């Protein structure tokens, strides 16, 4: 549990470092941030943070398989489009 708390703190720090001014606006037919977070949680992601609209998709950070990742998610389905270690 302590390891996850540390990972959560790191994810939070990464989120603070992101620049919200660069974010786009979600489309009217997009899933909400809450819906995307719920979908990702159901897929095994935790500590989802920094979720913002960017270049036609949702982008953010999370812990997946014990590692911090940056992900891009489909705006209408919440499906992961890409993921890379952070």
* Tens digits of residue pLDDT in 28-83: 999 999 999 999 999 999 999 999 999 999 999 999 999 999 999 999 999 999 99
CA distances from 85 to 24, 66, 67, 68, 69 (A): 23, 11, 7, 6, 4
Q: Please give the tally of structural domains in the chain.
A: 1
Full domain range(s) for residue 64: 2-85
Flag whether pLDDT at 18 surpasses 70: no
**CATH code for position 26:** 3.10.450
pTM: 0.74
């Amino acid at each position: 549990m302590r390891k996850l708390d540390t990972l959560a703190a790191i994810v939070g720090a990464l989120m603070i470092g992101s620049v919200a001014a660069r974010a786009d606006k979600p489309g009217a037919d997009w899933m909400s941030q809450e819906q995307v977070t719920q979908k990702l949680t159901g897929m095994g992601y935790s500590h989802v943070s920094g979720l913002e609209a960017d270049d036609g998709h949702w982008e953010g950070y999370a812990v997946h398989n014990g590692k911090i990742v940056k992900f891009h998610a489909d705006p209408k389905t919440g499906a992961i489009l890409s993921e890379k270690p952070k």
